Structure 1
Amino acid sequence: MTAEGTARRVTKRRVRTRARLLDAAFAVFAAKGFGRVSIEEVCEAAGYSRGAFYSNFATLDELFFALYQERAELIAEQVSGALALDGPDLDVHAAVDRVTDVLLLDLEWLLVKTDFLVHAARDPGVARTLLDHRARLRRAVADRLSRARGHTELPAVLGDVEDAARAVVAAYDGVTTQLLLDKDVEAARAWLRQLLTALLTDGAGPV
């Protein structure tokens, strides 16, 4: 086998190892909480040695950061994709339905996300990462609302699309906080659909 072929095999193996470590860490973090998990526990759950861990991550914080980024990217893509299907005209009710249908409302993810939020509140560097992600979500929403201006009647109260995007993200935050407590995913989707419809249509039309 050539050196290039060997390198590809090593790269693929490392990608698989990293993915297994991330999956194992997600399960352990969700079950116990970030601050109560050791590197050894993650390795045991993944079926790897500490050497495999350190060949992919320098610290548990770095792994936690990578895990958060992976899920955060997924959510940003879900929102962007759901909002991109219409042309210049924005069918608000259909777009809201698509967003609430595909949006990740996973209780284990919300537990990990909450741990990350608390961690970020105590670490300015981590906080910047979280703020960057939230800004990306807002940009996806604001861009779609901006393109709809002049084509679709939106509530005058929205004013600045940036403010409207902040309101949409805040609605998601509120619904997911409630979901953490009552664990009713279907109710969370229904409530999020109602909130977003009210924000973007003054509550008019079907919910």
Structure 2
Amino acid sequence: MPAPTAGRVPRRRAETRRRLLEAALLVFAEEGFGRSTVEQVCERAGYTRGAFYSNFASLDELFLAMWERRSAELIAGLRTAFERTEAQGVRTVRDVVEYLLPAIPMDDVWYRVSAEFTTHALRHPTLRQVMTAREEAIAGALMPFLEGLLARIGRTVPDRVALGQALIAVHDGTMVQCLMEPDNPRIRQRRAELAMHVLTAYSEGDRE
């Protein structure tokens, strides 16, 4: 039997990681992060403990890899939304919000998992620091695009860190309400209005 080529091993490893991450998301959502075990994740993915530990040192590391992948997907989706505005045209803060919010997914399964892991991280200073740094990195990656949109309507951002934190707070807080009442259009309307107020309050210019 021929030895595996250099290209096959990374692909096989990537597939193993993908299946473990997808299985872990389902296990975490069903059992809760604190009650989930490596064995449950392996059973759901169809792998042994050896396969798990050849890819991840712990469930904490697996979750952080999961979060990194979700973050990359979020950033890619928002970049696409921002680029789309170049063809459509943006004239007001409301226009910016109407392009921004639909590009941010509201996933009940992911929210349950991430909320539980956040609670877990609050008990562990090292994890807390890692999550804070990664959240800052996400905001940092997106702010240039958002600043570009605001600049097109004559608005500047004096403090991009403050704006990023405020928008994250709006998203996290209103997402819970949207998930609780998914068929209530007034909640989504208030979510959009709050995002508009935040963008206006944390930027400077004439047009709103």
* TM-score category (smaller protein): 0.7 to 0.9
d(CA) in 2 for partners of 1:115 and 1:75?
20
Q: Which residue in the other structure is 2:15 paired with?
A: 16
Q: Please state if 1:138 is matched with 2:129.
A: no
Pairing of 1:75-114 with structure 2 (within 5 A):
75-86=74-85, 90-91=90-91, 92-114=93-115
Residue type matched to 1:184 in 2? Answer: P
Q: Which residue in the other structure is 2:204 paired with?
A: none
- Is the contact between residue 25 and residue 113 of structure 2 (CA under 8 Å) also seen in structure 1? yes
Residue type matched to 1:82 in 2? Answer: A
Return 5+ residue gaps in structure 1 as ranges: none
Residue type matched to 2:130 in 1? Answer: T
d(CA) in 2 for partners of 1:34 and 1:24?
13
Q: Which residue in the other structure is 1:195 paired with?
A: 194
Q: 1:39 to 1:79 in 2, by over 3 A?
A: same
- Is the contact between residue 96 and residue 149 of structure 2 (CA under 8 Å) also seen in structure 1? no
Pairing of 1:53-202 with structure 2 (within 5 A):
53-86=52-85, 90-91=90-91, 92-147=93-148, 151-154=152-155, 159-180=158-179, 182-184=180-182, 187=185, 189-201=188-200
Shift, 1:45, TM fit: 0.7
Return 5+ residue gaps in structure 2 as ranges: 202-206
Q: Deviations over 1:100-159 (max 9, x none)?
A: 2121100000011102211221222222222123213332454245445664244x9x75
Shift, 1:21, TM fit: 0.7
Q: How large is the RMSD of aligned CA atoms in angstroms?
A: 3.0
- Is the contact between residue 90 and residue 148 of structure 1 (CA under 8 Å) also seen in structure 2? yes
Q: 1:137 to 1:34 in 2, by over 3 A?
A: same
% identical aligned pairs: 35
Q: How many residues align?
A: 200
d(CA) in 2 for partners of 1:110 and 1:185?
18
Residue type matched to 2:7 in 1? Answer: R
d(CA) in 1 for partners of 2:134 and 2:115?
14
d(CA) in 1 for partners of 2:105 and 2:117?
17
Q: Deviations over 1:44-69 (max 9, x none)?
A: 11111112212211222211221122
d(CA) in 2 for partners of 1:65 and 1:148?
30
d(CA) in 1 for partners of 2:130 and 2:120?
11
Residue type matched to 2:137 in 1? Answer: R
Residue type matched to 1:37 in 2? Answer: S
- Is the contact between residue 30 and residue 108 of structure 1 (CA under 8 Å) also seen in structure 2? yes
Residue type matched to 1:165 in 2? Answer: G
- Is the contact between residue 32 and residue 113 of structure 2 (CA under 8 Å) also seen in structure 1? yes
Q: 1:123 to 1:114 in 2, by over 3 A?
A: same
- Is the contact between residue 68 and residue 116 of structure 1 (CA under 8 Å) also seen in structure 2? no
Q: Deviations over 1:20-56 (max 9, x none)?
A: 1110000010111111011111111111111221221
